[in-house]
Amino acid sequence: MAKFPVEPFKIKVVEPIRPTTRAERVEKLSQAGYNLFAIRAEDVYIDLLTDSGTSAMSDNQWAGIMLGDEAYAGCRNFFNLEETIQAITGFNYFVPTHQGRAAENILFACTVSAGQSVPSNMHFDTTQANVLARGGHPVNMIADVGLDPQIHKPFKGDLDVEKLEAFIQETGPENIPLGMLTVTNNSGGGQPVSMANIRATGEVLHRYGIPFFLDACRYAENAYFIKLRDPDYANTPVLEIAREMFSYADGCTMSAKKDALVNIGGFLAMNDEELYQRVCQELIVREGFPTYGGLAGRDLEAMARGLWEGLDERYLAYRLAHTQYLADRLLEEGIPILEPAGGHAVYLDVKRFLPHIPQSELPGQTLTCALYLEGGIRGVEIGSVMFAYEDPESGETVYPDLELVRLAIPRRVYTQAHLDYVVEVCRALYEKREEIRGLRYVFAPRLLRHFTARFEPLP
């Protein structure tokens, strides 16, 4: 038996990647204002910016693309997708959207009023921004273990249910239009949420008449973690686990660019018919007619097929083990990462990697730049640039507890040799970490700062 599950696929199409010289990278980084979102993809050697929309589609999905029915209304691919989503989630209604944040935008447009709060284990940045854009308050209630980067617990994505109940009593259920859980918890290290916590979160919210939605983009990885880590589910098929997860919720937002293995697409699903009617109105204004919702028929077909492939247990076993491989190799080299490994990514623990750089000097962003300079690797900061904010009362900057650099692994794209290269670059950088200096802002937009901010190195 191989130590790690062998890729359950072989490669039929390849895309060349080109290493660059250090001199080239120095120039590109300076031109990009030290923001890796502004670097051209062809100037990146190993691109771990995101696992979103970067999957390699299968021959079956590409075959589905050729069966796209591009009718404006009622295309056959919509019905294939509807059947698939109902079989997996059990929700009564759904609309396609062009990606996850579009589903969030439409859901919050129909539910959140100014001044209301939306609790979650941890909102992802687009979820947080979409709540803020409606004048709402996104509130994170991750259990304390989720904030400790070293403690080994099976479900570090769990929400603190007692905190949630106290918050509802304090705030008043009428001021909470919905509650959410992000599965897995991307902003907190890709850590899974336990079945017990999904159930308990649903129970508390429902006791106060508050609808419960899952941010489900990595629901299949979460379901497989439940199979691996909760003995009660060790022999349960992953589809059944997924169905049970959805059964405690009233709906979900989905970025299909993750566990549905497509390059574009998403959906919003729900049980409430009245909400669905309002969602359709909003969808027609913003995305498109409800049987295509901002996508082509071919995209709907690729999503329907990808949803099933993303639930394949041999694929999921390989997927989680592939990520685990990178984590184990980094740990062998003594490199600090958030433990245990997440499903879709390994997160460098920046507070331990660069302890000499305070959060005011943006150590996470600094480390993303250093990785690019050292080896042409592109990761993403999930720390002070993404989440620090100014306290409205004191005017002081509040920094996030976790300062991370996420190395997200695109699905079915990179081999073990690519990951070995990443480890070598991280090791070389870790050896000279004390030479690394921080950054400061040259430009910082108000919302979703990390995408377009520009920086310069501190003297």
Footprint of ligand PLP on this chain (CB under 6 A)? Answer: 52, 99-101, 124, 126-127, 182, 186, 215, 217, 255, 257, 266
Q: Among candidates 375, 302, 377, which has minimal Cα distance to 64?
A: 302
* Closest CB to ligand PLP: residue number: 100
Encoded amino acid at 56, one letter: A
**Residue 183 beta carbon to ligand PLP: minimum distance, rounded to whole angstroms:** 8
Instruction: Give the nearest distance from C-beta 74 to ligand PLP in angstroms.
Output: 25
Q: Please, which residue, 128 or 365, has the CB nearer to ligand PLP?
A: 128
Q: Cβ of residue 191: shortest distance to ligand PLP, in angstroms?
A: 12
With respect to ligand PLP, which residue has the nearer C-beta, 258 or 322?
A: 258
Q: Residue 382 or 436: which CB sits closer to ligand PLP?
A: 382
Query: Taking the complex as a whole, how short is the minimal distance between the CB of residue 266 and ligand PLP, in angstroms?
Result: 5
Q: In 211-351, which ranges are E strands?
A: 212-215, 251-255, 266-270, 345-349
Strand ranges for 261-364 from DSSP E: 266-270, 345-349
Distance of closest approach, residue 432 Cβ to ligand PLP, in angstroms: 31
Nearest CB to ligand PLP, comparing residues 101 and 319: 101
Bridge partner list, 125: none
Is the distance from CB of 78 to CB of 297 less than 8 angstroms? yes
Residue with token string 């305070």: 358
Pick the closer one to ligand PLP by CB: 185 or 365.
185
Q: Which segments of 134-194 does DSSP mark as H helices, in order?
A: 161-171
CA dist., res. 366 & res. 384, Å (int):
11
Cα–Cα distances (Å) from 389 to 72, 118, 278, 398, in that order, read 43, 18, 33, 5
**How buried is residue 17: exposed, middle or buried, by Cβ count under 10 Å (0-12/13-18/19+)?**
middle
Pick between residue 266 and residue 410 the one whose CB is nearest to ligand PLP: 266
CB 58 within 8 A of CB 309: yes
Residue 377 token pair: 């690797």
In the complex, what is the shortest distance from the CB of residue 447 to ligand PLP, in angstroms, rounded to a whole number?
A: 14
CB 102 to ligand PLP: min, Å: 7
Nearest approach, Cβ of 126 to ligand PLP (angstroms)? 4
Tokens in use for 400? 């996030």
The answer to whether the bond into 340 is cis (omega within 30° of 0) is yes
Rounded-to-integer distance, Cα 284 and Cα 106, Å: 10
How far CA 289 is from CA of 80, 126, 163, 220, 351, in Å, comes to: 17, 23, 40, 28, 47
Q: Give which of 302, 273, 288, 238 is closest to 94, Cα–Cα.
A: 273
Nearest to ligand PLP of 28, 298 (CB atom):
298
Q: Where are the alpha helices (DSSP H) in 122-208?
A: 125-133, 161-171, 195-207
Alpha-carbon span 151 to 142, nearest angstrom: 15
Nearer to ligand PLP, 88 or 216 (CB): 216
Q: State the nearest-atom distance from the C-beta of 101 to ligand PLP, in Å.
A: 3
**For ligand PLP, the closer CB: 287 or 374:** 287
CB of 189 to ligand PLP, least distance (A): 12
For ligand PLP, which is the closer residue by CB, 82 or 215? Answer: 215
Cβ distance 407 to 347 under 8 Å? Answer: yes
